[in-house]
Structure 1
Amino acid sequence: MIFTIIQADDTWALWGILAIWASVSIFLEQKYKWASFLSGAIIALAGALILSNLKIIPTESPVYDAVWAYLVPLAIPLLLFQVNMKELFQESRKLLFIFLICAVGTVIGSTAGFLLLKDYIPELAKIAAAIGASYVGGGVNFATVTAKFEPSSQMVSATVVADNMVMALLFAMYMFVPSMKFFRKHFKTPHIQEVEAGQYGENDRHTLAEKYWAKKEISLKDVAASIGTSFFLVVASFKLAEWFGTIIPTGPNVSVVQTLLHTILSEKYLLLSTLTFLVIYLFPSYFKNISGSQEIGTYFIYIFFVVIGVPASIPLIVEKAPLLILFVLIVGMSNLIVGLLLGRVFKIDLEHILLASNATVGGPTTASAMAIAKGWGSLVGPILVVGTLGYIIGNYIGFALGYWYLTF
């Protein structure tokens, strides 16, 4: 057994480190510009990586397993509760259209990168599926797809390091592209022009961000509704998936349709996304009146970011990350390039393209943060709605890619 200052069975100390460092990462990200540029996810992961490589905390523990088994499933519905289906289909059609185009770019990039590098990167079929899902939805989709295909913890950690390095580069590009003359010349930029004309006010952007992320009024009833409903959906989905797995036959002698049904209905994470989507659609007023679910779900995901940084071995990252960085860069650039090319063909605003690509790569929160920082106030709500769709479809895309890649 490798000696560490905090042992694997020291449950309270390990939970404390996970929760405290997740909190510190969020605080730094929201208070300091340098931390915001790095992103809280990178800070969370890097801190855990340092602690584990300095032998302060162990690389394996039942505490980490509990995060994967309980917090990640609970975070999925919590992050979906604020989906407004009416806004999604009536007010966000442009964003939805270009969002799906960028998702296609992700699939193209994931497939191209996999075919190019599959002989050089171990377990790339599983990793490529997870990145494909993540670059349609976000970190929660990465978590669910890796939980399904179970790549080694070291490869997961190395991939997350590469992923966050590429995301930092892409986020810098998203912020820089609107100021480039080439793109201003070849794309419509109505929201940029409004900012420059003073409608939002260049000097008021920080105030806008501060107001947008102001404290919300959250009651005990909101917390109870968020956590209780999330638990209900997780339990119902997992039990239904278990039941479907027993009643739908599978094996070499059953039909393709039955095999497909068994794969879809017995997959607990897919069923969880689907059931959450269904109840949100059927009971929109209930979920509209719940405050705080997004914050709670995001906090759980930050704890997850800390956990996936723990088993990262620095020698492995030095050895494997360069190729993984190349793979993730292929996926990310394919997403952006396909979005720009087809966006130009369909005459879509540059702001919509950049926000849609941002939402697929980093999730709705990073895209909305960009909209706020740029002063594109009218796009903040729609990109949150459209970006959340990635949480729903990302798992389906990731699972489909994974099953396909594993046939090679």
Structure 2
Amino acid sequence: MIAADNIFSLLAVLLFISAAAAIMETTRVGRRISGVGFVLIGAFVAAHFNLIPRSAPLYDVIWAYLVPLAIALFLLKADLIKVFTEGGRVLVAFAIGAIGAAAGAVIGALLFDLGPHEPAIAAIYSATYIGGSLNFVAVAEAVRLDDPSELAAALAIDNILGVGFIICMNFVAGWAFLKKRFPWRLESIWGSAEDGGASDSGQAYSFANLLTAIALAAAVVAVSTSIAAYLGYESYSLLFITVAMTLVATAGRRFVSRLRGEDIVAMIFMYLFFAIIGAGADLNAMLNSAPGLFLEVLMIFAVHLVFIFIAGAALKLNHAEIIIASLACIAGPPIAAAIAILMNWRNLVAPGIMTGILGYIIGNFVGIGIFRLLGGVLQ
């Protein structure tokens, strides 16, 4: 196995998996699955057979530095007015999906045996599937769920089924059936070439323009994270980046419209991000854990999807808006943004991030509320 501190060897494997996925995406079968699915599966298999570690300093670097920069790069040409116009629809779908996730957590707790810490388990899962891993840790601490074996099992199932949910939604994103069933305002997810809504990867670009785009994105990330840290909101720095980048992109739309190639750089970073997500999943730990936890998560996913697709049909949302809202809720803003980017739904990148970060804020409250609802007592 490649050691966790063998940075370049590990990076080479992750890049090889990403390159292989990009090649597979060009095949007939690959166009149905997309490169993301291949990256997730490839990294999971590599970690499962001990070719690469499940955690490493390199993974922390990718998460902490490359993901924010990638998101900033893809927001470089976001039209703030259009983002908020379309973002309202994603926000509505997200809110309904969050209600579904909370309802699924309560239903699962009532139907399945989750062990002696049932209210706490339902609380942490509802929080993490409305917010994210940050909420998992925060609610686990708040409800005093500190049993190492139970936390490890809960995290293992969260990782495995979370990756499975991302892969499944990635498959679903390309289904012709959904495009026909939820076709409303479908043209609104893309932009025109003039406003940067379409992918620029096929257009000519200069080395100077590419470096300018990267430098501008890096500057926005640097300023945004510094402001977030100064105000004491480091965990929500992605929100600061999103707001700052969209303001820059809207105010300087004529300037940034001339920049090309940033999509390619950001795509590389995102593929590496998905690789570390796949590598972190632990199948053995999940199989050795209580089946009730497994069923609880599946119930949350099922009820969430029922809520969000019924709402989508009733409110006439298109399939892309539903999928991004669902991913923002279950998987978090980086995943929602990455899928929007890779599907070329540029007008849904910022809404996916903003609604997902809303989940960070409300997830803790929902989790603790469910804990109390199911009879838990805060100490």
* Fold in common (TM above 0.5): yes
Q: Is the 8 A contact 1:37 1:168 kept in 2?
A: no
1:240-319 matches, cutoff 5 A: 240-245=227-232, 267-318=236-287, 319=289
Q: Secondary structure at the match of 1:110?
A: helix
1:5-404 matches, cutoff 5 A: 5-29=1-25, 31-88=26-83, 96=87, 98-117=89-108, 120=114, 125=123, 128-132=126-130, 154-168=156-170, 170-171=172-173, 174-177=175-178, 215-245=202-232, 267-318=236-287, 319=289, 321=294, 323-343=296-316, 353-361=318-326, 363=336, 384-404=346-366
Identity of aligned residues (%): 20
CA distance in structure 2 between the aligned counterparts of 1:331 and 1:83, rounded to whole angstroms: 29
Q: Is the 8 A contact 1:364 1:385 kept in 2?
A: no
1:213 CA drift (Å)? 8.1
CA distance in structure 2 between the aligned counterparts of 1:86 and 1:190, rounded to whole angstroms: 17
Distance change >3 Å, CA 353–CA 224, structure 1 → 2: same
Q: Secondary structure at the match of 2:275?
A: helix
TM-score by length of 2: 0.72
Q: Can you list the C-alpha shifts for 1:205-263, whole angstroms capped at 9, x where unaligned?
A: xxxxxx97872212212321222122212221222122222xxxxxxxxxxxxxxxxxx
CA distance in structure 2 between the aligned counterparts of 1:266 and 1:178, rounded to whole angstroms: 35
Distance change >3 Å, CA 113–CA 385, structure 1 → 2: same
CA distance in structure 1 between the aligned counterparts of 2:186 and 2:42, rounded to whole angstroms: 38
Residue 405 of structure 1 pairs with residue 370 of structure 2: no
Distance change >3 Å, CA 77–CA 283, structure 1 → 2: same
Distance change >3 Å, CA 386–CA 25, structure 1 → 2: same
Q: Secondary structure at the match of 1:81?
A: coil
Distance change >3 Å, CA 143–CA 290, structure 1 → 2: farther
CA distance in structure 2 between the aligned counterparts of 1:96 and 1:143, rounded to whole angstroms: 24
Distance change >3 Å, CA 61–CA 367, structure 1 → 2: closer
TM-score by length of 1: 0.68
Matched with 2:145 is none
Distance change >3 Å, CA 127–CA 226, structure 1 → 2: farther
Q: Is the 8 A contact 2:308 2:322 kept in 1?
A: yes
Distance change >3 Å, CA 190–CA 265, structure 1 → 2: closer
Opposite residue 228 of structure 1, the aligned amino acid is A
Opposite residue 113 of structure 1, the aligned amino acid is G
How many pairs were matched up?
329
What's the RMSD between the two structures over aligned residues? 3.7
